[in-house]
Amino acid sequence: MTSAALILSLLLSFSGFAALALSLDRHHRAAYRMGVPRARVGSLRMAGWCGLGLSFAASIAAAGWDFGPVQWIGSLTGAALAVVAIIAFRPTWLRNAALAALPLAAVAVPLALLG
Amino acid sequence: MSARAMPTLADRAAVAGRVLLAVFGGYAVAALATALLALILPGPRAEAVSAGTLASFAIMAGAVIWVFAARTLGRAAVVLGLTALLLIGALWLAGAFAHGAGA
Amino acid sequence: MAWLHTWSGLVVGWVLFAIFVTGTASYYRTDISHWMRPELSATALDPAAAATRAGAFLRRTMPDAAGWSIKLPSAETPAVEVYWWPHLDGPFHRALLDPATGEPARVRDTRGGDFLYRFHFELSLPPIWGRWIVSACAMVLLIALISGIVTHRRIFADFFTFRRDRSAQRGWLDAHNVVGVLALPFHLMIVYTGLVTLSATLMPWGVKAVYGDDVLRYYAEAGLATPGAAPAGGPGTPLPLGAIVARAAAAGGEVPEVMLVTQPGDAGATVTAYFEEPHGLAHLHPQIAYAADTGTEIARVGEAGAATRTGAVMAGLHEAHFAAAPLRLLFFLCGAMGAAAVASGLVLWTVARAPKGADPAGFGLRLVRFLNLGTIAGLPVGLAAYLLANRLLPDGLEARADWEVRAFFAAWAAAALAASLYPRQRAWALALAVPGCAFLAIPLVDAVLVGQQRFLAFDAAMGAVGVTLGLGSRLAARRKPAAARPATASLSRTVEA
């Protein structure tokens, strides 16, 4: 079903962008009141790109090669906007929101791929 | 921005020149290139027309950016003029003017 | 390139804002049209009989037309929409028919969502003028996007950055960057595909070079249309349209969307059945042409090649007919971000040039401020007035649809003029509160005057737009004291000293 697929790629790219944002000093400071530890930059970036990649895979798997990329790019824009809004207004929520999106995404997977 | 200093008349004229060159020169180059592509691209002629038309706006954007990026207005005008002349020559070779347009 | 970005964006900004807003609203064009014609409701349909009746209506109305177009009733739009025109270049007349009687439907006279859709690329000007102006603005936007990308060197480092607690200029710059960069794929796509959809007007030189003036031949060879037929010269004896609809439905596997009759008064008249686009990104309608007199199939539209199909995909992406509700919402969001990018750029121009201290604002700055307020806050007032007029104008009013459009422009102009009189410190707060209240009034007026359950979602959306504008107004009201505080503090210190 297209809504579930779109929500799935939104959730995955949201978590991905949140991880990428937290790998940047400025936003990590806003969320944790300290710069990002060197050791965590790599893993956050890796997690971030994985989220975006999984989001792409989910879009293609659910919507094919014609609609998939369109849905994916749309979901990237929506997810990034949400991350920016959270950083601007409630930066301390970012980590939990990103983590909460993952189990929701897991719920959406069967709905998106089978529904 | 250093635009706080009052621009001289020559500055204003140069800007106006670039705008005019970008609008009319950019469109002319795009139109000529589109016509040429429509005539010379391989494959069915309708496909060549479609492809040339799709590319036209990218060509115009490229020409306009060039006009504003060039170091001087004269340089931009010369390069754009030469491009247009080359395109006209190629169109002539492709037979656009020989037996009237349309087959 | 910063210079190019700033000034190119400024000169077309106000028109671009209107194009973005009305275009974004057009993603919900059919929903708007439904809401504006509450008398229409889904009924059992017989498209073939409806087509025969519509054909009879058109034969009475303009038997010697150059063409008729009949949009068959569907579950989505239960009325028959007919157009007829005496010449290929217009004027195009239009009516909405009741499928059961073939007479003009008893519906309030309105242009519905189509007004906003056409304003999006014609600006309510004569079509040729409007399209060229919109296209010129689109080309300038393309240049502004390219020069903006070149200017904004820290795209990735500042990707998530929106510093709303710093100076006004910093905040507006960040906001402009965020809405511009995050939706950049959409912005580039929408401006280029927009130019492509108008390319027949803008860039006819490829067609001219190869086909001369025979544009129809290009459409036929490219697989965009069926080839035209020459007129026979005498009057014919056409079959009832319904018979051809039935044949087309059998041949095409589904009921056609639109029937186009060319030269209906001639023995060589053709009837072309347009089917809905097959599921996919491309905006390509399958078509079958029939002889109007005999009902024999004359031609089918050819298979489009790769380049033509690419163009059709671009048109499809621009119009997003394929997008189901959730994806459509994302397109809407991206369109709103486009409008926001233009608006924030315009405001940023004035904020960056705000005179320091007691310098008076120059004429240019005051003009831009006025146009900003008048467009960004004025256009929403016009939109709300258009919808409110649909509910409030009496049904029997002469040329009622035109009065709705007049309400749109009059309210916009009035809002813009009023905004120029507001005290500058509170101008934005007031100017945004007006459309906010107007949009909040829409669900109330609708509930009182029409009150149909199926419009709940639309009314809720209008309420949401009103609340968003209200939040914007509150934000604008709150900014001022924050910005004014240091000034007052330093003033009191000076006084103490």
Distance from the Cα of C475 to chain B's closest Cα (Å) equals 28
Query: Residue C482 pLDDT > 50, yes or no?
Result: no
Each residue of C458-474: pLDDT tens digit?
A: 999 999 999 999 999 99
Q: Do B47 and C192 touch (CB under 8 A)?
A: no
* Residue B37 resides in a domain: yes
Spacing of C-alpha C116 from chain mean position: 5
Q: Chain C residue closest to A75 (CA)?
A: C330
Question: In this predicted structure, which of B97-101, C39-43, C86-90, C224-228 has the lowest mean pLDDT?
Answer: B97-101
Spacing of C-alpha B66 from chain mean position: 10
Query: Residue A38 pLDDT > 70, yes or no?
Result: yes
Q: Do B65 and C143 touch (CB under 8 A)?
A: yes
pLDDT at position C438, please? 97
* Residue B7 resides in a domain: no
pLDDT at position C271, please? 94
Amino acid C125 reads L
pLDDT at position A1, please? 46
pLDDT at position B102, please? 43
* Residue B3 resides in a domain: no
Query: Residue C186 pLDDT > 70, yes or no?
Result: yes
Q: Do C213 and B102 touch (CB under 8 A)?
A: yes
**Separation CA C85–CA C91 (nearest Å):** 6
Residue C44: pLDDT band (50, 70, 90) is: low
Query: Residue C362 pLDDT > 90, yes or no?
Result: no
pLDDT at position B18, please? 93
Question: In this predicted structure, which of C235-239, C410-414, C471-475 has the lowest mean pLDDT?
Answer: C235-239
Each residue of C377-388: pLDDT tens digit?
A: 999 999 999 999
Distance from the Cα of B35 to chain C's closest Cα (Å) equals 4
Reported as type and span, the H/E element at residue C258 is strand C258-262
Touching subunits for chain A (3+ Cβ pairs under 8 A): C
Facing C308 at nearest CB: one of B31, B46, B96: B46
Percent of chain A with pLDDT over 70: 98
**Separation CA B41–CA C221 (nearest Å):** 16
Facing A66 at nearest CB: one of C281, C333, C337: C281
> Domain range spanning residue B44?
18-93
Average pLDDT over residues C242-248: 92
Q: Do B38 and C205 touch (CB under 8 A)?
A: yes
Residue C236: pLDDT band (50, 70, 90) is: confident
Spacing of C-alpha C111 from chain mean position: 13
- Sheet with C287-291, side-by-side order of all strands: C93-97, C80-85, C67-71, C258-262, C270-274, C287-291, C297-300
- Looking at this predicted complex, what is its ipTM? 0.93
Which residues from chain B sit within 8 angstroms of residue C205, using beta carbons? 31-32, 34-35, 38, 56
- Phi then psi for residue C298, to 5 deg, are -100, -45
Query: Residue C494 pLDDT > 60, yes or no?
Result: no
pLDDT at position A111, please? 83
C contact set with A (CB within 8 A): 157, 159-162, 164, 178, 182-183, 185-186, 280-281, 317, 322, 324-327, 330-331, 333-334, 337
Q: Do A70 and C157 touch (CB under 8 A)?
A: no
pLDDT at position C493, please? 42
Which residues from chain A sit within 8 angstroms of residue C280, using beta carbons? 66
Which residues from chain A sit within 8 angstroms of residue C326, using beta carbons? 2-3, 6-7
* Residue B79 resides in a domain: yes
Each residue of C122-175: pLDDT tens digit?
A: 999 988 999 999 999 999 999 999 999 998 888 888 889 898 877 888 889 999
Average pLDDT over residues C225-250: 86
Which residues from chain C sit within 8 angstroms of residue A20, using beta carbons? 159-160
**Contacts for B1 with CB less than 8 Å, ≥ 6 apart:** C2, C3, C6, C352
- Per the CB < 8 A criterion, the answer to whether C188 and C138 are in contact is no
Cβ–Cβ pairs < 8 A, chains B and C = 117
Q: Chain C residue closest to A82 (CA)?
A: C160
Question: Coil, helix or strand for C297?
Answer: strand
Q: Which of A34-43, C115-124, C481-490 has the highest mean pLDDT?
A: C115-124
Query: Residue C496 pLDDT > 70, yes or no?
Result: no
Q: Do C147 and B44 touch (CB under 8 A)?
A: no
pLDDT at position A115, please? 60
Q: Chain A residue closest to C183 (CA)?
A: A77
Amino acid B33 reads A
Inspect the structure and tell me whether chains A and B have 3 or more CB pairs less than 8 Å apart: no
Q: Do C214 and B96 touch (CB under 8 A)?
A: no
DSSP annotation of C96 reads: E
Q: How many domains, chain B? A: 1
Query: Residue C41 pLDDT > 90, yes or no?
Result: no
* Residue B78 resides in a domain: yes
Average pLDDT, chain C: 89
Average pLDDT over residues C289-296: 90
**Separation CA B56–CA B27 (nearest Å):** 9
* Residue B75 resides in a domain: yes
Nearest one of C19, C214, C22, C202 to C128, comparing CA atoms: C202
Question: Coil, helix or strand for C103?
Answer: coil
pLDDT at position C111, please? 92
**Separation CA B38–CA A37 (nearest Å):** 58
Each residue of B84-93: pLDDT tens digit?
A: 999 999 999 9
Residue C349: pLDDT band (50, 70, 90) is: very high
Facing C186 at nearest CB: one of A77, A87, A88: A77
Nearest one of C246, C236, C272 to C52, comparing CA atoms: C246
Each residue of B15-39: pLDDT tens digit?
A: 999 999 999 999 999 999 999 999 9
* Residue B4 resides in a domain: no
Amino acid C306 reads A
* Residue B65 resides in a domain: yes
Facing C210 at nearest CB: one of B1, B30, B38: B38
Q: Do A3 and C326 touch (CB under 8 A)?
A: yes
Question: Coil, helix or strand for B70?
Answer: coil
**Separation CA C442–CA C445 (nearest Å):** 5
pLDDT at position B4, please? 52
**Separation CA C47–CA C245 (nearest Å):** 8
pLDDT at position C222, please? 92
Most C-contacting residue of A1, A55, A81, A111 (CB-CB within 10 A), to test interface: A81
Which residues from chain C sit within 8 angstroms of residue A90, using beta carbons? none
Distance from the Cα of C351 to chain B's closest Cα (Å) equals 14
**Separation CA C342–CA C19 (nearest Å):** 10
pLDDT at position C479, please? 67
Q: Do B54 and C199 touch (CB under 8 A)?
A: yes
Q: Do C206 and B96 touch (CB under 8 A)?
A: no
Average pLDDT over residues C240-255: 91
Each residue of C262-286: pLDDT tens digit?
A: 999 888 899 999 998 888 888 889 9
Cis preceding-peptide flag for C91 (omega within 30 of 0): yes
Facing C162 at nearest CB: one of A70, A71, A84: A84
Query: Residue C447 pLDDT > 70, yes or no?
Result: yes
Residue C74: pLDDT band (50, 70, 90) is: confident
